[in-house]
Amino acid sequence: MKLKAGEILDNVKAIMLSYEGMGVVKINDYSIFVENLLVDETANIVIKKANTKFAFAKVLKHITISPKRIKPDNEKLMESGSTPIAMLSYKDQLLFKEEFVKYLFGRNIHFENVAEILPNPKPWGYRNKITVFCDEINGKFVLGLFEKNTHNLIEQTSYDLAHPKLNEVILWLDNNINNYQSLKNSVNNINSFTFRYSEASEEGLIIINANKMLKIDNKLITDITNKFNWIVNIIVNLESKNSNKYFALLDSKTSILDKIDSLSFNLEWNSFFQINSAQTNNLYNLLINNLDLNKNDIVVDAYSGVGTIALKIAPFVKTVYGLEIINEAVMNARDNAKLNNIENALFYSGDVNKTIFKIEQNPNVIIVDPPRSGISTQFLETIIKINPEKIGYISCNVHTMCRDIDYLRNNGYQLIYLRPCDMFSQTHHIECVGVLIRK
């Protein structure tokens, strides 16, 4: 079957929810994934994107409504695809995520003992970083978010996933941006704006992501910093294949101080850091409590980034080695260890498959927090070669986590703990923590 973008289908029915929270419509064996359509609801839909195997669509009109549907507080945010399951109550969102993890691990590796999902203490306003996009519409410079699977910018009335401080400055900028001619004239050279905020230090940054250097009104800089005195700098980030230059518009620092629990982290404007600091701490505590660490443990934290996991577990173990391929992140991690007076956390830069064999002690615990692609085949083989007693696994993609755990189970390890964690409420994304022990 082959559908075309723009084609309208009437009175279709969703038979299940996909992993991404979309209603699944089946026509023969052809799947259509429909935004904002719950199980057993019927609707008229329009195709947004299609190929020979499946299509994406959105609802034009609901015909029948599920009793589980609620009216989202922010329909524009949902229309953009940023909150794809906000039409479910928070209780039902948690159930959807927990049931999916149970289904995935039960079907693929016959693991049934999935712990209850850990709720998010702040289902809204939890993001400490957000990127918004811009375009010229009817002669005006506007900010917004792109609709999923389109280049259609949807203006927003509120960015409710972001911390209220970020929401406030974004809305102010959106309402006032056309008053500054130099910025308005640069609309074609600006790709997006990124906003960062630390609740711990009450510091924030604005990053203007551009394809060429911009001339920014001094009045704009003054007006923003006068109104939002927590903004420590405004940075122009030149996004180019041949350059990663940036320019700070204020004679001030280009970093902010953030915290996970009692640990402090100095974050440069481009440093990766967990989006939801409070829930990240809860996730790490789950890992620590279920790894049953002790003062004799030698731990490797693979994919260690700026050192958040390594520094969190350092007080519980003899030594922790953080391994990270990005040298700048390793330098940040070392600085963060000094900042927190932690001496038993050591950080090394390079390919984890090589650096793990260069550390001074043999690890009996390996912790992984890989990217969405999961653990590489080579590093899985390396883990088996090292043969640690315990493995801790934090995942942002339960599909690749399930795949990797299946490999480890087939090579001498037993999964003893698995718990999903709601890090990104109103979205389909699921964090998960697992613990494996050597058989």
**Per-residue confidence at 188, pLDDT binned at 50, 70, 90?**
confident
Given a cut of 90, is residue 278 above it in pLDDT? yes
Q: What's residue 150's pLDDT?
A: 81
Q: What's residue 185's pLDDT?
A: 83
End-to-end CA distance of the chain: 48
pLDDT tens for residues 141-175?
Answer: 999 999 987 889 999 999 999 999 999 999 999 99
Order the strands of the 413-421 sheet from edge to edge: 345-349, 319-324, 298-302, 365-368, 390-395, 431-438, 413-421
Given a cut of 90, is residue 183 above it in pLDDT? no
**Per-residue confidence at 398, pLDDT binned at 50, 70, 90?**
very high
Q: What's residue 239's pLDDT?
A: 85
Q: Which residue do the tokens 């948690």 mark? A: 94
**Mean pLDDT confidence for 366-386:** 96
pTM: 0.93
**Mean pLDDT confidence for 418-427:** 98
Mean pLDDT of the chain: 95
Binding residues for S-adenosyl-L-methionine: 274, 303, 324, 369
**Mean pLDDT confidence for 23-52:** 96
Q: What's residue 43's pLDDT?
A: 98
Q: What's residue 242's pLDDT?
A: 67
Q: Which amino acid is at 24?
A: V
Give the start-to-end residue ranges of the domains of the chain.
Answer: 1-68, 94-122+275-438, 129-268
1-68 against 129-268: fold identical? yes
What is the residue-wise DSSP string for 201-270?
Answer: TTEEEEEEEESS-----HHHHHHHHHH-TTEEEEEEEE-BTTB--EEESSSS-SEEEEEETTEEEEEETT
Question: What count of Cα atoms within 13 Å lies in the side-chain half-sphere of residue 350?
Answer: 10
pLDDT tens for residues 44-73?
Answer: 999 999 999 999 999 999 999 999 999 998
Residue 396 is among the residues annotated as catalytic for this protein: yes
Number of Cβ atoms within 10 Å of the Cβ of 218: 10
Exactly one of 396, 402, 421, 432 is catalytic; name it: 396
pLDDT tens for residues 351-370?
Answer: 999 999 989 899 999 999 99
> Which CATH number fits the domain 129-268, given the four candidates 3.40.190.170, 3.40.50.1820, 2.40.50.1070, 2.40.420.20?
2.40.50.1070
Given a cut of 70, is residue 243 above it in pLDDT? no
Q: In angstroms, what CA-CA distances link 251 with 156, 227, 235, 247?
A: 32, 18, 11, 10
Given a cut of 80, is residue 244 above it in pLDDT? no
Question: At what angle are helices 164-176 and 218-227 packed, to 10 degrees?
Answer: 150
Share of the chain above pLDDT 70, in %: 99
Given a cut of 90, is residue 202 above it in pLDDT? yes
pLDDT tens for residues 282-292?
Answer: 999 999 999 99
User: Who wins on pLDDT, 184 or 130?
Assistant: 130
Number of Cβ atoms within 10 Å of the Cβ of 11: 11
8 Å CB contact between 325 and 368 = no
Q: What is the largest CA-CA distance in the chain?
A: 67
Given a cut of 90, is residue 38 above it in pLDDT? yes
**Mean pLDDT confidence for 184-211:** 94
Given a cut of 70, is residue 112 above it in pLDDT? yes
pLDDT tens for residues 204-230?
Answer: 999 999 988 888 889 999 999 999 999
What CATH number belongs to 94-122+275-438? 3.40.50.150
Structure tokens at 270: 């481009």
What CATH number belongs to 1-68? 2.40.50.140
